[in-house]
Amino acid sequence: MFKIMDPAPTGPVAEHVYAVKDGMVSMFILTNGESVIAIDAGNGEASVRAELQKLPISPESVTHLFLTHSDGDHVGGLACFPNAHVYLSRDEEQMIDGTTARFFGRRRNRSIDRPYTLLDDGEVVTVGHIAVRAIATPGHTPGAMSYLVDGHVLFTGDTLRLRDGRAQTFIRWINMDTAAQKASIHKLARLQGVTLLCTAHTGCTANWDHALERWRVGPA
C-alpha cells in the first residue's frame, strides 16, 4: 500500500549525503570532508537533535542551510545549527513576513529570527568546493525552491513526491498552486546529469530517468 508520507530514514543516502528523519519529514546534510551544508531543518529542535546523534557529523559544523520553503516541518530545527547561515527564495519571504498566509488564509508561517539571504532563480552559492544552484519551483508555496548540488544531487522539498519511483505532484490540498507546481516539475525534468533525487516526504531515488520520464513532455 502506498504511503503518502514515507521519508528517508536517518543515515547515509549516498556518498557524502545523509538524511535526518524527523517524523513525517526528512532534512539532509551534505559534506565533502571540508564543508558541511544542510537542506531544510526538520520539524522540531528536540527530535532533530536526537536524530543528529546517529550521524558522524556535528551540527555545529554546518555553515550553510538552504530552505526549500518556510513551512514549519522544514524550519522547526533551525536552532540545532547555530553556525549556519540561512538561505531561501526571494519569493518565499512573503510567507515569513506576514504578507501571505497558508491554508486559505488561516495560518501564517513563523518568521525566521536570524539573518538570512534571499536567493533568485539560477543563483549559485559556493561553499568551499560545494556548488549549490537555486532553482525556483513554485507551487507548494510561492517561493518553493529546489537545490541542485554539484550539478547532480537534487533536493526538491515538497515540489514533488515519489510513488513507485515516479514523480507526481505533492498533496493537492497542501499545495498553494498545483498548476504552478506541475510547471515546476516539467522545469526540473529538463535537468541533465542528475544522479540522486531527494524529496522531503517520500525518500530518494537514483533513477532520475524513471522518476521524471513522463514530465519531459508538456510545458516548456
Please write the tens of the pLDDT for every residue from 59-106. 999 999 999 999 999 999 999 999 999 999 999 999 999 999 998 777
Kindly give the residue spans of alpha helices, DSSP state H, lying in 94-219.
178-189, 208-212
Residue that has been written with the C-alpha cell 501564517 in this structure: 108
% pLDDT > 90, the chain: 93
pLDDT in tens, 125-174: 999 999 999 999 999 999 999 999 999 999 999 999 999 999 999 999 99
Residue 8 has what DSSP assignment? P
At residue 41, does pLDDT exceed 90?
Answer: yes
**Contact criterion met (CB below 8 Å) for 42 and 28:** no
Does residue 17 sit in helix, strand or coil? Answer: strand
pTM of the model: 0.96
Using 50, 70 and 90 to split pLDDT, how confident is the model at 3?
low
- Residue 1 has what pLDDT? 36
CA distance 50 to 208: 31
Q: What is the mean pLDDT of residues 183-207?
A: 98
Beta bridge partners of 16: none
Mean pLDDT of 107-111: 91
- Of 1-5, 35-39, 211-215, which gets the smallest average pLDDT? 1-5
pLDDT of residue 22: 95
Residue 51 has pLDDT above 60, yes or no: yes
Superfamily covering domain 11-216: Ribonuclease Z/Hydroxyacylglutathione hydrolase-like (3.60.15.10)
- Total residues belonging to the chain: 220
